[in-house]
């Protein structure tokens, strides 16, 4: 079967950097899916992208579908012909559906008797016809966060489409999309001239011809070139780039022909907090910040130019002018904010709405203070930690109404600016750190708070948000979670686990709803949902700690409100799970659970009714087990408790081997049920081990 190469380029006005990765991935998967459906094989797919183009090259593409023999079986022969030998309506209907006529019929002997059938040879389509059909469909399937229409066109796309290239081998395919016809002309970097056409003579010269007009279409090549240039700027210097993987990805999608240019700003701005400088450089301007060998911010920075390398000095002056204006604003905001005590910002929180039904940020602050006090009453902390947590609870949102954040220039610095302003106005370091840490974790891989005050206020803030938002029926879904409730709830259980806070999570949820009750019309209705929601987050935490799924089921089936205790029980059970003597105990406990599955309560055991020696032994050993495990359970020494349970397992086995539980005598049967029920209750203080999976269990 002949093969060849295919190239398609879609030229556009500048696409936002954040749109490109997903679009290229969708372009690739679109071709993969459609070619698979068409039964066209290929050797390799390579994609290209810049702000002004998406392209795909398919090497070794099968140029012709294989011919197929299609065989269809119809009705029984007896039902296909009438008594005169003419085709019946059933047979004629079959032929119409198969696209055949009477001459194509033959009789096929099947396990269900003789049936009529037809066999047709279907000629395979050539790749050209298939590509002409699927290319417009694939392009129409590219979705963006925001799309637009332009001119009198009806197509929605992120930016106007300006040109198309479509080659199959040396032939230009007559693809047409939204009135544009494909050719062999692409367009180069606009720093040469606004309209910069370049003719692509063949697929093989695609990259080299674009390079002549200052376009590097291979994204990975562009990224590596940026990295090399960033490194080369500081060879032999004590300075280095502050690594920023996310920024590297962004700038790679912002340029077509990168040139790393070293620039600087006035040293007087180095008095600003370091993150204000780096945020101004990287987040606002997409520049790389620079530090010295000691990790101190330097006044130099690097930007990635898409302009003519010969004019880098001129381009540098323009970028230095822009960053000077940005830092001047930041310096003004910082000086103005620092002249006011951070506590004086708190009252202004009444002017900012947290959520329409949940009130202002000042009201939220008041709730955070109450939740903080509640948590502090239920954990161990020293006096400085307690005072710092209470003070941080009051001040944690104050920076949101500062000039620095209020002007929307530096919104990602919330918490950090609160810390800086707290230190400026003389708050203790512990308070300042807690203000910064209470937003942690900000993302999936972010750090957790390092201080106890930071941890407590973080839990209080997140708990108020989760209970409040769910309380007003803004239930998160897989695709819709505008208040990041899942991340907040995950953060709560992670922080509790890290610090080993021994408070009851369910009671804290109930307290959060209590202080929200004037805002929530359905407090009682939302409590069950919240408990289930946090149960899911707790299960997630156990999975993150590599606890096996059956162990999770075992420990979650009983009380799971105190997370550190839950984690200790789960870890102890996990450690015992591979022991043969423990697995034998599991089988014994399953028998206990199965026999008394319908037993709701454990009545008193009548010693006088204990008639069998194995039964008496079980009762006596159970008494010993209770005495041995009581202090161990109080001290939460769960592995030691499990050791005692394993020892008890042989007694259970002996009982079941020698005693029939379900006897006809009702009193004797119920007495044995009561004994087994009491044993189950003791076991359940650790876990429901009947849920542990035992291989080859019978």
Same domain for 638 and 626? yes
Nearest-angstrom CA–CA distance, 200 and 183? 9
**Residue 157, token pair as written in the block:** 């796309």
| Angle at alpha carbon of residue 268, lines to 263 and 272, rounded to 5° | 95
603 Cβ contact partners less than 8 Å away, ≥ 6 residues apart:
670, 674, 677
Place of tokens 């075992």: 554
**Chain centre distance of CA 183:** 41
The residue that leads in pLDDT, 534 or 615, is: 534
Residue 68 — very low, low, confident or very high, per pLDDT cuts 50/70/90?
Answer: confident
Give me the CATH number covering residue 609.
1.10.730.10
Please check the confidence at residue 254 and state whether its pLDDT lies above 80: yes
Nearest-angstrom CA–CA distance, 398 and 334? 14
Same domain for 466 and 483? yes
Alpha helices for 301-399 (secondary structure H): 312-338, 343-346, 361-377, 383-395
Q: Is the dihedral angle over the CA atoms 326, 403, 485, 441 positive or is it negative?
A: positive
Residue 96 CA: distances (Å) to CA of 121, 137, 673: 16, 30, 71
Same domain for 370 and 438? yes
Torsion of CA 592, 597, 599, 601, to 10 degrees: 70
**Residue 137, token pair as written in the block:** 């469909």
Q: Is the CB of residue 190 less than 8 Å from the CB of residue 197?
A: no
Domain termination site, one of 183, 211, 239? 211
Query: What is the mean predicted confidence (pLDDT) over 527-542?
Result: 94
What angle separates helix 17-37 from helix 245-252, to the nearest 10 degrees? Answer: 70
Query: What is the mean predicted confidence (pLDDT) over 625-645?
Result: 92
Nearest-angstrom CA–CA distance, 593 and 599? 9
Torsion of CA 637, 639, 641, 645, to 10 degrees: 180
Residue 377 is assigned to a structural domain of this protein = yes
Query: What is the mean predicted confidence (pLDDT) over 674-694?
Result: 88
Residue 524 — very low, low, confident or very high, per pLDDT cuts 50/70/90?
Answer: low
Same domain for 655 and 520? no
Domain termination site, one of 513, 544, 575? 544
Catalogue the long-range contacts made by 541-545 (C-beta closer than 8 Å, 24 or more residues apart).
541/490, 541/493, 541/494, 541/497, 541/567, 542/566, 542/567, 542/570, 544/494, 545/497, 545/570, 545/571
Query: What is the mean predicted confidence (pLDDT) over 291-313?
Result: 94
Q: Is the CB of residue 330 less than 8 Å from the CB of residue 409?
A: yes
**Residue 407, token pair as written in the block:** 């002007």
Please check the confidence at residue 523 and state whether its pLDDT lies above 60: no
Please name which of 99, 96, 118, 97 lies closest in space to residue 107, comparing C-alpha atoms: 118
Please tell me the total number of residues recorded for the chain in this structure: 698
**Residue 71, token pair as written in the block:** 């065989």
339 Cβ contact partners less than 8 Å away, ≥ 6 residues apart:
none
Nearest-angstrom CA–CA distance, 211 and 217? 8
Same domain for 16 and 146? yes
202 Cβ contact partners less than 8 Å away, ≥ 6 residues apart:
167, 170
Q: Is the CB of residue 282 less than 8 Å from the CB of residue 288?
A: yes
Residue 558 is assigned to a structural domain of this protein = no
Flag the least confident range among 434-443, 523-532, 579-588: 523-532
Q: pLDDT above 90 covers what percent of the chain?
A: 70
Q: What is the pLDDT of residue 659?
A: 84
SS3 83: coil
Residue 219 — very low, low, confident or very high, per pLDDT cuts 50/70/90?
Answer: very high
Domain termination site, one of 191, 211, 231? 211
According to DSSP, residue 270 is labeled G
According to DSSP, residue 87 is labeled B
Same domain for 675 and 642? yes
Nearest-angstrom CA–CA distance, 152 and 565? 66
Nearest-angstrom CA–CA distance, 583 and 580? 5
Give the burial string for 129-141 (b: 16+ CB within 10 Å, else e): ebbbebbeebbee
Residue 663 — very low, low, confident or very high, per pLDDT cuts 50/70/90?
Answer: confident
Nearest-angstrom CA–CA distance, 358 and 516? 8
Nearest-angstrom CA–CA distance, 255 and 260? 11
Say how many domains are in the chain. Answer: 5
**Residue 439, token pair as written in the block:** 């937003």
CB atoms within 10 A of CB 375: 23
Residue 476 is assigned to a structural domain of this protein = yes
Same domain for 239 and 327? yes
Q: Is the CB of residue 568 less than 8 Å from the CB of residue 636?
A: yes
Residue 559 is assigned to a structural domain of this protein = no
Please name which of 156, 179, 128, 119 lies closest in space to residue 6, comparing C-alpha atoms: 128
Same domain for 153 and 267? no
Nearest-angstrom CA–CA distance, 212 and 14? 20
Q: Is the CB of residue 268 less than 8 Å from the CB of residue 280?
A: no
Please check the confidence at residue 78 and state whether its pLDDT lies above 60: yes
**Chain centre distance of CA 577:** 31
Residue 697 — very low, low, confident or very high, per pLDDT cuts 50/70/90?
Answer: low
Q: Is the CB of residue 515 less than 8 Å from the CB of residue 368?
A: no
Please check the confidence at residue 592 and state whether its pLDDT lies above 90: no
Q: What is the pLDDT of residue 558?
A: 83
Same domain for 155 and 237? no
**Residue 65, token pair as written in the block:** 């579908």
Please check the confidence at residue 474 and state whether its pLDDT lies above 60: yes
Residue 696 is assigned to a structural domain of this protein = no
Q: Could you report the per-residue pLDDT of 323-342, keeping only the tens digit for each?
A: 999 999 999 999 999 999 99
Give the burial string for 580-593 (b: 16+ CB within 10 Å, else e): eebbbbbbbbbbbb
Nearest-angstrom CA–CA distance, 600 and 419? 55
Question: What is the residue-averaged pLDDT of the chain?
Answer: 92
Q: Could you report the per-residue pLDDT of 148-176, keeping only the tens digit for each?
A: 887 777 788 999 999 999 999 999 999 99
| Bridge partners, residue 148, by sequence | 157
Residue 642 is assigned to a structural domain of this protein = yes
Please check the confidence at residue 50 and state whether its pLDDT lies above 80: yes
Q: Is the CB of residue 187 less than 8 Å from the CB of residue 147?
A: no
Please check the confidence at residue 489 and state whether its pLDDT lies above 70: yes
Same domain for 478 and 391? yes
Nearest-angstrom CA–CA distance, 539 and 379? 23
> Diameter of the chain by CA atoms?
109
For the chain, the first-to-last Cα distance in angstroms comes to: 55
Q: Could you report the per-residue pLDDT of 260-287, keeping only the tens digit for each?
A: 999 999 999 999 999 999 999 998 899 9
Residue 556 is assigned to a structural domain of this protein = no
Nearest-angstrom CA–CA distance, 511 and 271? 44
Range of the structural domain that residue 9 is part of:
3-64+126-211
Same domain for 507 and 591? no
Q: Could you give the count of Cα atoms lying within 13 Å of 124 in the half-sphere of its Cβ?
A: 15
What phi-psi label fits residue 404: left (phi over 0), alpha (psi between -120 and 50 degrees) or beta?
alpha
Give me the CATH number covering residue 366.
1.10.3210
Put the strands of the sheet holding 297-305 in their side by side order: 240-241, 288-291, 297-305, 259-264
Residue 389 is assigned to a structural domain of this protein = yes
Same domain for 359 and 270? no
């Amino acid at each position: 079967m002949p093969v060849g190469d295919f190239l398609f380029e879609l030229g556009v006005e500048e696409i936002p950097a954040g749109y490109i990765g997903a679009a290229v991935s969708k372009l690739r998967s679109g071709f993969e899916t459609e070619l698979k459906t068409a039964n066209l094989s290929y050797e390799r797919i390579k994609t290209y992208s810049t702000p002004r183009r998406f392209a795909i090259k398919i090497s070794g593409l099968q140029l012709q579908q294989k011919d197929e023999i299609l065989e269809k079986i119809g009705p029984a022969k007896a039902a296909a012909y009438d008594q005169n030998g003419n085709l019946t309506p059933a047979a004629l209907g079959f032929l119409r559906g198969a696209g055949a006529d009477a001459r194509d019929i033959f009789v096929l002997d099947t396990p269900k008797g003789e049936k009529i059938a037809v066999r047709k040879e279907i000629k395979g389509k050539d790749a050209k016809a298939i590509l002409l059909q699927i290319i417009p469909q694939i392009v129409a399937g590219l979705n963006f966060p925001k799309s637009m229409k332009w001119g009198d066109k009806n197509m929605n796309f992120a930016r106007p489409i300006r040109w198309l290239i479509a080659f199959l081998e040396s032939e230009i395919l007559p693809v047409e999309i939204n009135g544009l016809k494909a050719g062999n002309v692409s367009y180069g970097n606009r720093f040469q001239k606004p309209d910069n056409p370049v003719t692509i003579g063949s697929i093989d010269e695609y990259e080299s011809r674009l390079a002549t007009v200052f376009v590097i279409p291979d994204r990975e090549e562009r990224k590596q070139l940026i990295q090399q240039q960033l490194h080369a700027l500081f060879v032999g210097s004590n300075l280095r780039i502050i690594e920023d993987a996310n920024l590297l990805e962004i700038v790679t999608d912002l340029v077509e022909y990168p040139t790393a240019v070293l620039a600087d700003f006035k040293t007087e701005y180095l008095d600003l907090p370091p993150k204000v400088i780096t945020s101004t450089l990287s987040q606002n301007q997409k520049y790389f910040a620079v530090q010295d060998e000691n990790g101190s911010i330097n006044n130099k920075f690097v930007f990635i130019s898409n302009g003519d390398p010969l004019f880098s000095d001129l381009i540098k002056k323009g970028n230095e002018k822009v960053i000077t204006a940005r830092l001047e604003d930041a310096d003004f905001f910082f000086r103005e904010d620092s002249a006011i005590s951070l506590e004086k910002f708190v009252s202004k929180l009444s002017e900012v709405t947290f959520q329409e039904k949940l009130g202002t940020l000042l009201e939220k602050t008041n709730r955070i203070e109450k939740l903080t006090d509640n948590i502090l009453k239920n954990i161990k902390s020293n006096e400085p930690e307690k005072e710092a947590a209470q003070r941080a609870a009051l001040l944690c949102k104050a920076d949101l109404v500062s000039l620095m954040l209020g002007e929307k220039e530096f919104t990602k610095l919330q918490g950090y600016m609160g810390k800086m302003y707290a230190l400026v106005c003389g708050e203790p370091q512990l308070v300042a750190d807690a203000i910064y840490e209470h937003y942690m974790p900000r993302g999936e891989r972010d750090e957790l708070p390092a201080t106890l005050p930071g941890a407590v206020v973080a839990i209080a803030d997140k708990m108020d948000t989760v209970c409040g938002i769910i309380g007003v029926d803004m239930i998160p879904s897989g695709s819709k979670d505008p208040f990041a409730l899942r991340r907040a709830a995950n953060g709560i259980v992670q922080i509790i686990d890290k610090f080993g806070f021994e408070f009851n999570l369910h009671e804290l949820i109930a307290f959060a709803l209590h202080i929200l009750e004037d805002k929530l019309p359905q407090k009682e209705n939302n409590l069950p949902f919240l408990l289930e929601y946090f149960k899911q987050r707790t299960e997630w935490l156990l999975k993150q700690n590599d606890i096996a799924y059956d162990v999770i089921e075992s420990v979650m089936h009983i009380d799971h409100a105190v997370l550190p205790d839950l984690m200790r029980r789960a870890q102890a059970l996990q450690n015992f799970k591979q022991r043969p003597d423990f697995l034998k105990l599991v089988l014994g406990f399953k028998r206990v659970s199965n026999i008394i599955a319908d037993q709701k309560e454990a009545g008193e055991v009548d010693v006088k009714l204990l008639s069998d020696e194995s039964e008496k032994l079980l009762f006596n050993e159970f008494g010993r087990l209770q005495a041995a495990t009581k202090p161990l359970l109080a001290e939460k020494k769960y592995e030691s408790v499990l050791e005692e349970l394993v020892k008890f397992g042989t007694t259970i086995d002996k009982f079941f081997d020698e005693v029939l539980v379900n006897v006809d005598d009702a009193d004797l049967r119920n007495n044995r049920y009561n004994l087994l029920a009491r044993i189950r209750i003791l076991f359940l203080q650790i876990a429901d081990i009947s849920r542990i999976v035992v291989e080859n269990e019978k």
